[in-house]
Amino acid sequence: MTYIQYYLDSDVPKDEELLHLRVVRLINSCLRKQKLSKRYRINIHCLENVSTRELEIVGRVISILVPFKQGLTITEVLYMYLDIIDRLSVEFLIGVDVEKLDNNVRDNLFNVEFVYQQGKRNKRGLMYRIYYCFESLSILTVGIEMLDKNDNTLYKVQLLTCSCGVLVEDILIKNIHTVKWIDNDSIRIYRPTKVDYWEVSATGDVLYYDTRAESGDAHRQYVLAMMYKEGKGMLANNELYLYWLDKAVKQGFDRAIKERTANL
């Protein structure tokens, strides 16, 4: 896919960096939806010591230096990036529909949560949405919301947290494969392995099934324990961390034993 990566001076305030990150993530998500035939990585360097724009192209990588201005609103940051993409589209025929991109990004610019996937209604009229939001500059949270036939929220629960850069949908694709109703109340959210999944009940209770860990794979039990400990690719859960760590320890898995000893 064509996407942009931004670079700022190291002393830029965190709140200003957050504006750039929010805008770039949205632009990249909307660029993916345009399904461009050519793929480019557009490196945009926003630097204070640059007075004029400078551009370099090496293969499918476009690097551009632009003057950095502090104190911009989020809308002004958006149009700074859109202006660059518009110029590249005209001069280098990268194929971006900038007007459509502008509309798509502005429609979501002030959202706190974003819908990644929305399912069809089941026989009871229930519908789910897989959503995502950000806890910080780099932490992405993914969850599921269940709606009744009148679009009222029945429950909303988190499924996982993980670190995330500018390509949000790549992270989602690596964690969410398919969602299936298993009856008229409960659903399963499968990971790309197609055998590991979350199961969400009618009341919003969540269970996670890791096939290899459940079948007694000590290494996988240790890995799953550390995921629960660190909250990476999973919601942090100290009880489940200890549960799976002890499973691996009982099988004599060396790394699990060292981890358990270190936490006594």
pLDDT of 167 > 80? The answer is yes
Q: What is the pLDDT of residue 34?
A: 87
**What is the pLDDT averaged over residues 78-95?**
87
The predicted structure's pLDDT at residue 9: 84
Name the band, by pLDDT with cuts 50, 70 and 90, for residue 235.
confident
Planar angle of CA 32, 118, 38, nearest 5 degrees: 10
Q: Report how far residue 241's alpha carbon sits from residue 228's, in angstroms, rounded to the nearest whole number.
A: 5
Calpha distance 77→127 (Å, rounded): 36
pLDDT tops 90 at residue 82: yes
DSSP notation for 55-101: EEEETTEEEEEEE--SS--HHHHHHHHHHHHHHHHHHH-----HHHH
pLDDT for position 129: 95
| pLDDT-wise least confident of 23-27, 169-173, 230-234 | 230-234
Average pLDDT over residues 125-137: 90
Average pLDDT rounded to a whole number, residues 2-29: 90
Q: What is the mean pLDDT of residues 117-146?
A: 91
User: How far lies 242's CA from each of 102, 150, 201, in Å?
Assistant: 48, 41, 24
Report the alpha-carbon distance of residue 27 to residue 76 in Å, rounded. 14
pLDDT of residue 10: 80
